[in-house]
Structures are given as structure tokens and as C-alpha cells.
Amino acid sequence: MDVEKSGSRRDTEQAVIRRMLYAVLHETLSAASIEPTEYRSEDRGDGVFVLIDPSVPKPALLRALLTTTPERLVSNNRLASEGARIRLRMVVHTGEVALDDFGAVGSDVVHAFRLLDSSALRDVLRTTAEPSVLCVSETVYRGVVHHAHPGVRPEHFHPLTVDSKEGIALTGWYHDSSVVREDTPGDPTPESARPGTTDYPPSHPAPRANTGNFFFGTAHFGGDAVAGDKHVGGRTER
């Protein structure tokens, strides 16, 4: 999760924003029935990076991010001053992650942050009236979203292409329930989202390119899994 325009806030406002961010995160995880022993988080200042155990059902996580997160944001923003209200960009990706004394590392972590930090996703949030926007990676779209689990409608996910620093085009799928994508029953990757193309659905302006901080991944912990400051070794599973 990454807070929109956090750098322009006063320090006193950022302290309120930080508390609100973590309150929304914990309520979202609780709504997905994710226990404290099933995830670990790393603070990113104006965002948070979370690794979740692979045993957690991904459809439940997506449903919580699509319902609980925006609901709690609306509720909390009503009570906050204008300078302390928050809107969030969120990315869900799954893959291989290595853990060391400093945290998590791996190309899949980089992949998630490339999507989160893109100007394309920033533009989606900027142009919507919703308090948050969720983007999933191509892997999560194909493995979870495309199968239309209850509460997760693939026709409400739309492709965007991000040019990474490595020169590789990455595909993400952002959620917008106000627009219905008609090609859902066919190829899960429309021509506009395939590597090497930069076209977007005609109903949306072509996003530009920028950065942020939230990643939901899957992590398999060796030994015990704990929340907090304890570091544990392990590897992720697809």
C-alpha cells in the first residue's frame, strides 16, 4: 500500500496518516481472516510492504482489498482533516522471495514495486473518485482473478503496461468496477496488454509513467512464522 501525495503533508499530518494506514491494513487483513502469524510487514514510510503465507486464500485477500479497504478509508477520511485524508495505491503479486536480516529481496519484489511505482497506476488513482485502486500482476490475474471467484469479477479488471528500468514491459491489471471489459471469456491477456504494446482500453486515457510502496506476496517461512521484529529464513512458493 502506498499513500498518494504523502510528501506534500506536514509532519503532524504524516503521523496521523501513518496511524490510519496501519489501521486500514490491519482491518483489511482481519477481514480476509489472515492471522498475525501468517504475515510479516516492512514499513516504507508512506507505505507498507507485506508478505503473506501461501496458505492464505488469495480470493479472500482480493475481496478484502476491494471492499474492506475502501470502506475503511471512506469512514476514516470522514473524521480526518483535509490534510490527513488518504488515498491508496495497492499491488498484489506472488512469487519467489528471499529473507535475510534486512528484509525481503528478489526479482518478484522488484516486479511488484515497478507496478506500484508506475505513473500508469498513479494516473488511475488520480482520475478516479474512489479512495483506493487495486492492481494485480499478470500472475495473479491468470491464477486467481480470471477464474471469477465470488466477489472477484474479472470483467472489472483492465490491463496496463509498465516499462521497467530493465527494458521489459510488465503487465498489470487494475480494478475499476465502473467499466466492464467485454473480452473476459477469451484470451486473459488482451492484445493491448501483451509485451511490446502500450495501448490501453479506449474508455481510459493512456497512463503516463512514476513510484510507491505496497506489496502483498506469498511467503513460506521455515520453522516458525511470526509478526514483529523477529527475522526468519525461508523461501516463497508459487
pLDDT tens by residue, 27-42: 999 999 999 999 999 9
| Grid cell for residue 102 | 534486512
Indicate the pTM of the whole model: 0.76
Runs of H (alpha helix) within the chain = 11-31, 58-79, 107-117, 119-127, 138-143
Dihedrals phi, psi of 221, to nearest 5 degrees: -90, 135
Can you list the residues of the chain whose pLDDT is less than 50? 187, 189-238
Report pLDDT for 227: 38
Distance between CA atoms of 119 and 104, rounded to whole angstroms?
Answer: 24
Domain ranges of the chain: 2-235
Per DSSP, the three-state class of 132 is strand
Task: State the pLDDT at residue 56.
Answer: 95
Pairing of strands 132-137, 2-3: unpaired
> Buried (b) or exposed (e) across 188-217, using 16+ Cβ within 10 A?
bbbebbeeeeeebbeebeebeeeebbbbbb
Query: What is the topology classification, in CATH, of domain 2-235?
Result: Alpha-Beta Plaits (3.30.70)
